[in-house]
Structure 1
Amino acid sequence: MSDTDSFIDEVTEEVRRDRLFLMLKRYGWIGVVAVFAIVGGAAFKEYRDSQERAAAQAAGDALSAALTENEAAARAEGLAQVNPETAGAQAVVALARAGALVEAGNAAEAATVLDQLSLNMDVPQVYRDIAAFKSVLVQGDLLAADERRSRLEALAAPGASLQFLAAEQLALLDLSEGKTAEALTRLKEIAASEGVSRDLQERVSQVIVALGGDQDAAAQDG
């Protein structure tokens, strides 16, 4: 390599260094910001995760403390203070609180809790159905017969999670109104349906026989 070529290479390398320093001077802050963003994001995620863990732990402790109360009223009051993060956990707590309120003799407030849960669109459908069903049972005759029937018919729709239990309650409502034939028809449909639990089949079959229905049609051995 000649002296001229060596000189050109040195100049070229110097120019490259100058350009690199110039770019770092102009745009180096971007790298700094990126580093801070990555580090800050990781720190924020860790903080958020720790907060969520702390909240879940606090809710679990509050739930445990409430459930250990011997008095139903105190248990209901304790459960009212529990605020879980997830919708599913909120539903479980609400159902437990409603049960404690019923045990404490406060059916009206229990029904309010259940109705609120049944209308909460953030909660999975199965919990909403359970709440709506329990609300009807809790209120009983406090609900007008037409209102009770309307609510149960919605829950007894084909494919609904509580279809057969709601249909059983509709049959009992038919009986209370003297509609024995309609009740028998509904009960036989339940007994003959697939997916009915053995306990419900046996219970329905016993009612059919007690009403003078066909025992062979009612019997279901599963």
Structure 2
Amino acid sequence: MSDSDGFIEEVTEELRRDQMLAKLKRYGWIAVLAVLLIVGGAAFSEYRKSQVRAQAEALGDAMLGALESDEAAERVAALEAVETSEPQAAAVLAMLTASEQLAAEDLEGAVSNLEAVATNGDIPQIYRQIAQFKALTLQAETMDANTRKQGFEALGAAGGSLRLMAQEQLALISIQEGDVEGAIATYQGILSDAQVTPDLQQRALQVIVALGGEPELSGAPIDENNG
């Protein structure tokens, strides 16, 4: 390499360094701001997490405190005084209040709380389904069979963990209406379902036999303890 070529490269390198320094002076604040935003965002996220955790703990303490009374009516009043703006937490609180209202023999209040949860689109579906299922079962004596049947059919069609329990309720309604064959067919469908639990399987077997039917066990994961 000639001296002139070496000199040109040195000059070029100097120019690159000068250009880089100029860019840093001009745009370096953007990089600094980005770093601050990242660090600040992480800190804010941790702050929010700690806030959410603190709120959940405070809500839990409030609910536990409300349940300390020996009187169901007092527990209901204490739970109704607990406040939360978080939809999922409010659903849990409402269902807990409904449970205590039942203990206080306030069926209307319990159903009202459960139905409010069942129709709240801001909470997860499983909460709505549990609330609807419980509300329907509580109204076995006060709601007409067709309306309850429609409710349980909707739960059964929605799938999820309550699907088979909803079918069991439909079978019970069939028994109440004197439709023994329909009840046996529904219980047989439960018995043959791959997702049937041992307890529900046992109940289906017992009711089918009690109704004079013969359980078809093929395809059902029979529990040996059910024998």
TM-score using structure 2 length = 0.73
User: 1:116 matched to which residue of 2?
Assistant: 116
Unaligned runs of 5+ in 2: 1-22
- TM-fit CA distance, 1:128: 1.1
Gaps of 5+ in 1: 1-22
Pair 35,108 (structure 1): closer, same or farther in 2 beyond 3 Å: same
C-alpha deviation, 1:50, in angstroms: 4.9
Q: 1:155 to 1:37 in 2, by over 3 A?
A: closer
Identity %: 44
Could you say what secondary structure the match of 1:156 adopts?
helix
Shift of 1:90: 3.0
Q: Counterparts of 1:196 and 1:97 in 2: how far apart (Å)?
A: 30
Could you tell me which residue of structure 1 aligns to residue 136 of structure 2? 136
Q: Using the TM superposition, give the Cα deviation of residue 148 of structure 1 relative to its aligned residue in structure 2, in angstroms.
A: 0.7
Taking a change above 3 Å as real, the CA distance of residues 30 and 94 of structure 1, as seen in their structure-2 partners, is same
Structure 1 residues 103 and 130 mapped into 2: Cα distance closer, same or farther (>3 Å)? same
Name the amino acid aligned to 2:215.
A
Residues 31/125 of structure 1: CA separation in 2 closer, same or farther (3 Å cut): closer
Inter-partner Cα distance in structure 2 for 1:50 and 1:160: 33
Deviation at 1:34, TM superposition (A): 7.9
Is residue 2:88 matched to residue 1:83?
no
Which moves more between the two structures, 161-170 or 65-74?
65-74
Once the two structures are superposed, what CA deviation does each residue of 1:1-54 show, in whole Å capped at 9, x if it has no partner? xxxxxxxxxxxxxxxxxxxxxx9xx99998998898788767765664554344
2-structure distance, mates of 1:136, 1:174: 15
Q: 1:109-163, CA deviations, whole angstroms, 9 ceiling, x for partnerless residues?
A: 1111111111112222111111100000112221122111110111122733211
TM-score by length of 1: 0.74
Contact 2:79–2:93 under 8 Å retained in 1: yes
Give, as a single letter, the amino acid of the residue that structure 1 aligns with 2:84: N
Quick check: which has more Rg, 1 or 2?
Answer: 1
Question: Aligned runs of 1:165-176 on 2, under 5 Å?
Answer: 165-176=165-176
User: Alpha carbons of 1:34 and 1:217: their partners in 2 closer, same or farther (altered >3 Å)?
Assistant: closer
CA drift of 1:96 comes to 1.4
> 2-side partners of 1:51 and 1:102: how far apart?
33
Which string of whole-angstrom CA distances, capped at 9 and with x for unpartnered residues, describes residues 151-199 of structure 1?
Answer: 0111122733211111111111111111111111111111121111111
Moved more, 160-169 or 108-117: 160-169
Within 1, Cα distance between the matches of 2:215 and 2:30?
A: 79
Deviation at 1:217, TM superposition (A): 1.7
Partner of 2:194: 194
Q: Give the root-mean-square deviation of aligned CA atoms.
A: 3.7
Q: Is the 8 A contact 2:66 2:75 kept in 1?
A: yes
Q: Distance in 2 between matches of 1:42 and 1:159?
A: 39
Once the two structures are TM-superposed, the CA of residue 210 in structure 1 deviates from its matched residue by 1.2
Q: Which residue of structure 1 aligns with residue 11 of structure 2? A: none
The number of equivalent residue pairs is 215
Asked if the contact 1:72–1:103 (Cα under 8 Å) also holds between the matched residues in 2, the reply is yes
The 3-state SS of whatever aligns with 2:121 is coil
**CA offset digits 1:59-102 (Å, max 9, x no partner):** 12101112222222222222221427462x33322221111111
Secondary structure class of the residue paired with 1:195: coil
Q: Following the alignment from structure 2 to structure 1, what is the Cα–Cα distance between the partners of residues 148 and 110?
A: 16
| Structure 1 residues 45 and 190, CA gap change in structure 2 (3 angstroms) | closer
User: Secondary structure of 1:217's match?
Assistant: coil
1:207 equivalent to 2:210? Answer no
